[in-house]
Amino acid sequence: MSRRLRYQVAVSLDGFIAGSNGEYDWIVMDPAIDFAALFKEFDTAVMGRKTYEVLTAQGGHGAMPGLDVVVFSRTLPAAAYPGIRILNDDPREIVAALKAKPGRDIWLYGGGVLFRSLLDAGLVDTVEVAVIPVLLGAGVPLLPPGAATKLVLSDQKTLPASGIVVLAYSVPGGVGPAPRIRYIKAAKSRGRQA
């Protein structure tokens, strides 16, 4: 069975993944999110250049603990850091090859343009969004315009401390249903039962 490609993203209530200047300081953290448990669900992360540059601007070199990181870019030089591959090949071909290999799920870490390209190619299996209770008014949209894609709700959790709502959707025709949201501790759950 093929591995799932899971797009996980924080989004403002009005549909933006970053502010007008690329800022993400509006994304609040919630103590119920167990990031160590989340990271264990994946062994590979794929992202575009802009997302990688945001990670490196935070300090460090964009590595993610326990994950092989693949960055798609036509302009970045090859990474000199272990666990990071910068590729200028067609992301659709690379992701299809990654999905065919054995392993844990693949984390589509961002951004919206890469998500749209992989979604249109039929490679995205789940869309998992953390809706942050803020209205930005403008910014970087969740994804660029394209064909409509119907999704199927698989799970949802509400985090009362922050007001975040986490939604997990399956993409019809993808590799199995979206997984249950297991990396949230002590949160209300609404959705299908295990």
Task: Specify the pLDDT at position 46.
Answer: 96
Burial class from Cβ neighbours inside 10 Å (0-12, 13-18, 19+) for residue 112 reads: buried
Look up the pTM and report it.
0.88
63 or 123, which is more confident? 123
Q: Is 55 helix (H, G, I), strand (E, B) or coil?
A: helix
Round to whole Å and give the CA distance between 193 and 106: 24
For domain 5-191, the CATH superfamily is: Dihydrofolate Reductase, subunit A (3.40.430.10)
Give the tens place of pLDDT for each residue, 18-67: 999 888 899 999 999 998 899 999 999 999 998 888 878 777 667 777 88
Q: Is 181 helix (H, G, I), strand (E, B) or coil?
A: coil
